[in-house]
Amino acid sequence: MTINRESFENHPFFDELITPNGHARGYARKLISYLGKLDKGELASRQLGAELAIKQMGITFRVYTEEEGSIDRVWPFDIVPRLIPKKEWDRIESGLKQRVEALNLFIDDLYHKQQIVKDKVFPAEVLADSENFREQCIGVNPPLGVWAHICGSDLVRDDKGEIYVLEDNLRVPSGVSYMLENRLVTKRVFPELFETYSPLPIDDYPSELFDTLSALSPRPGDNPEIVVLTPGIYNSAYFEHAYLAQQMGCELVEGRDLVVEKDDCVYMRNIEGHSRVDVIYRRIDDLFLDPEAFNADSMLGVPGLMRAWKAGNVAMANAPGAGVADDKVVYSFVPDIIRYYLDQEPIVPNVPTWRCIDKPSCDYILDHLKELVVKPANESGGYGLLVGPSSSRQERETFRKLIEKNPRNYIAQPTLAISTVPTINGGLLEPRHVDLRPFILSGKSMEVTTGGLTRVALRKGSLVVNSSQGGGSKDTWIVDS
Partner 1 sequence: MLSRVAQTIYWIGRYQERAENTARLITVNTNLMLDLPPKGAPGWDALINLLGCYESYLARHPEFTERRVANFLINDEYNSSSIISTLCALRENARTIRDILPREAWESINSYYQTALERKQSSFSRQGRQSYLEHIIAGSQLMTGLLAGSMNHDMAYRFLNLGRKLERADMTTRIIDVRPENPLSEEAPELAPFEDILWMSMLKSLSAYQMYRQHMQVRINRKDVLQFLFKTQGFPRSINYCTENIRFNLSRLPKNRTPLKVLKKIDTRLTEMLTDKMDNNELHEFIDDLQIDFGTLHEAISKAYFPPALMSAA
- Residue selected from 48, 200, 233, 296 as contacting partner 1 according to rule CB under 8 A: 233
In degrees and rounded to multiples of 5, residue 122 shows phi and psi of: -120, 125
Does 296 contact partner 1 by CB under 8 A?
no
Give the separation between CA 147 and CA 191, rounded to whole angstroms: 40
Closer to partner 1 at the Cβ: 22 or 232? 232
Q: Which stretch binds partner 1 (CB under 8 A): 35-43, 243-251, 361-369, 427-435?
A: 243-251
Does 256 contact partner 1 by CB under 8 A?
yes
Give the separation between CA 388 and CA 364, rounded to whole angstroms: 14
Closer to partner 1 at the Cβ: 259 or 347? 259
| CB 429, min distance to partner 1, A | 30
What's CA 102's distance to the chain center, in Å? 18
Does 348 contact partner 1 by CB under 8 A?
no
- Residue selected from 88, 158, 251, 395 as contacting partner 1 according to rule CB under 8 A: 251
The answer to whether residues 104 and 148 touch, using CB atoms and an 8 Å cutoff, is yes
From 197, 237, 211, select the one nearest 476 (Cα to Cα): 197
From 345, 434, 463, select the one nearest 83 (Cα to Cα): 434
| CB 208, min distance to partner 1, A | 18
Give the separation between CA 67 and CA 61, rounded to whole angstroms: 17
Residues 368-397 that bind partner 1 (CB under 8 A): none
Alpha-carbon torsion angle 74, 77, 79, 82, nearest 10: -160
Does 55 contact partner 1 by CB under 8 A?
yes
From 79, 72, 82, select the one nearest 418 (Cα to Cα): 82
- Residue selected from 8, 77, 243, 294 as contacting partner 1 according to rule CB under 8 A: 243
Signed CA dihedral, 293, 294, 299, 300: sign only: negative
Closer to partner 1 at the Cβ: 55 or 73? 55
- Residue selected from 129, 158, 257, 395 as contacting partner 1 according to rule CB under 8 A: 257
Q: Give the chain's length.
A: 481
* Residues with Cβ within 8 Å of residue 452, at least 6 apart in sequence: 152, 155, 179, 436, 437, 438, 439, 476
Closer to partner 1 at the Cβ: 15 or 240? 240
The answer to whether residues 244 and 212 touch, using CB atoms and an 8 Å cutoff, is no
| CB 449, min distance to partner 1, A | 21
| In 342-427, beta strands by DSSP E | 354-355, 372-376, 386-387, 410-414, 420-425
Amino acid identity for residue 140 in this structure: V
| In 303-356, beta strands by DSSP E | 315-317, 354-355
- Residue selected from 18, 165, 179, 252 as contacting partner 1 according to rule CB under 8 A: 252
The answer to whether residues 171 and 285 touch, using CB atoms and an 8 Å cutoff, is yes
Give the separation between CA 160 and CA 418, rounded to whole angstroms: 10
Mark residues 265-294: x for contact with partner 1 by CB under 8 A, - for none: ---xxxxx----------------------
| CB 99, min distance to partner 1, A | 31
- Residue selected from 198, 299, 406, 444 as contacting partner 1 according to rule CB under 8 A: 299
Closer to partner 1 at the Cβ: 245 or 463? 245
| CB 251, min distance to partner 1, A | 6
Q: Which stretch binds partner 1 (CB under 8 A): 96-104, 153-161, 237-245, 466-474?
A: 237-245
| CB 466, min distance to partner 1, A | 23
Give the separation between CA 375 and CA 381, rounded to whole angstroms: 12
Number of residues that bind partner 1 (CB under 8 A): 26
425 secondary structure, DSSP code: E
Q: Which stretch binds partner 1 (CB under 8 A): 227-235, 353-361, 389-397, 449-457?
A: 227-235
From 180, 104, 168, 216, select the one nearest 444 (Cα to Cα): 216
Does 254 contact partner 1 by CB under 8 A?
yes
Does 306 contact partner 1 by CB under 8 A?
no
From 63, 59, 54, 60, select the one nearest 468 (Cα to Cα): 63
Q: Give the β-pairing of 428-437 and 453-457.
A: antiparallel
Does 238 contact partner 1 by CB under 8 A?
yes
Q: Which stretch binds partner 1 (CB under 8 A): 133-141, 263-271, 276-284, 367-375?
A: 263-271
Does 63 contact partner 1 by CB under 8 A?
no
Q: Which stretch binds partner 1 (CB under 8 A): 122-130, 234-242, 369-377, 445-453?
A: 234-242
| CB 233, min distance to partner 1, A | 5
Does 56 contact partner 1 by CB under 8 A?
yes
List of residues contacting partner 1 (CB under 8 A): 55-58, 228, 232-233, 238-239, 242-243, 245-246, 250-254, 256-257, 268-272, 299
